[in-house]
Amino acid sequence: MKKLLLALLCSVSFSFGSVESFSGLEGSLNIAGGTAHIKCEKEAIKNIMRKHSKISITIAGGGSGMGIKQVSTGLIDLANSGRKPTPSEIQKGDLKLFRFAVDGIGIVINPKNTISNLTTQQLQDIFSGKISDYKELGLKSAPINLYTRDESSATRKVFWKKALKKSDIAKSARVVSSNAAMKTAIKNDPNAIGILSLGFIDDNVKAISINGIFPSLKNVTNSSYTVSRGLYLLSSGEPKVLAKTFIEYMRSPEGAKIVTKYGFIAVDK
């Protein structure tokens, strides 16, 4: 009897926060918002829906601002946000915050570009438009094509606050609407400089150091690279069963494996 109870206890504890914890659940779950979350959540959703055919989970982008707005009005069940909502947003939407990962935001350039480091001052000058040619950085003369994200993007907000120290962003900067679009733009433009979530950085773009510190997971973990932010799942009020199980899954060891696989740091609080 003891063995049976122990086995039961073990199976319950192992299924908690794993795909098995969705057993017996059915219905749909709609998630939208920040685009940095999408890649790892997509894999989690694939794992869940492969085993549980009665569960339907959809995921869409739109940016953190859009996600916060949609979850507050009840249009979606969970919002993805790459920043902490403001106190007024929390109050208006009765938002509950669930952080499941930490992400860094890196400066990225085209792989053909030879820059490897920029100081905060150089960054501020480049993003404000004071430096508009690579010649001023000691390289061969070529125009600097500046790329940024839309104003409701958490990636932009965190970068502006932590890397640019709230200095101006030039109006001539090109604006793209997602991390994926940013990567494509940088890849196709040899003179580009932009900002990207660490989870999106691969061989198509080149990340560079700020003040000699490279935007790596290790440096984000040990806090030497400070341009980082939490990745949150938000619900309006207490999350319903399916949403709650999804949040638990993303924070579980199984979810953490996925989070780490896609270049983020897994956290459970």
Region near other proteins per CB under 8 A, out of 6-14, 58-66, 99-107, 241-249: 58-66
Contact mark string toward other proteins, 185..214, x via CB under 8 A? x--xxxxx----------------------
Nearest CA among 116, 117, 115, 134 for reference residue 126: 134
State in angstroms the smallest separation of the CB of 143 from other proteins: 4
Instruction: State yes or no: residue 173 binds other proteins (CB under 8 A).
Output: yes
Instruction: State yes or no: residue 82 binds other proteins (CB under 8 A).
Output: no
Is residue 141 within 8 Å of 133, Cβ to Cβ?
yes
Instruction: State yes or no: residue 95 binds other proteins (CB under 8 A).
Output: no
State in angstroms the smallest separation of the CB of 66 from other proteins: 4
Nearer to other proteins, 56 or 191 (CB): 191
Count of residues near other proteins by CB under 8 A: 30
Instruction: State yes or no: residue 63 binds other proteins (CB under 8 A).
Output: yes
Q: In sequence order, which residues have a C-beta less than 8 Å from that of residue 100 and are 6 or more positions away? A: 231, 232, 233, 247, 250, 251, 255, 259, 266, 267, 268
Among the listed residues 49, 115, 181, 267, the single contact to other proteins using CB under 8 A: 181
Q: What is the DSSP letter of 144?
A: -
For residue 176, the one-letter residue type is: V
Instruction: State yes or no: residue 230 binds other proteins (CB under 8 A).
Output: no
Q: What is the distance between the alpha carbons of residues 18 and 25, in angstroms, rounded to a whole number?
A: 13
Q: Could you tell me which residues are beta bridge partners of residue 14? A: none
Instruction: State yes or no: residue 128 binds other proteins (CB under 8 A).
Output: no
Q: Between the CA of residue 145 and those of 6, 48, 170, what are the distances in Å?
A: 62, 41, 11
Nearer to other proteins, 26 or 133 (CB): 133
State in angstroms the smallest separation of the CB of 149 from other proteins: 9
Q: Between the CA of residue 22 and those of 114, 120, 185, what are the distances in Å?
A: 49, 47, 39
Q: Report the DSSP pairing between strands 95-109 and 78-81.
A: unpaired
Which residues contact other proteins (rule: CB under 8 A)?
Answer: 62-66, 69, 89, 142-143, 145, 150-153, 170-177, 181, 184-185, 188-192
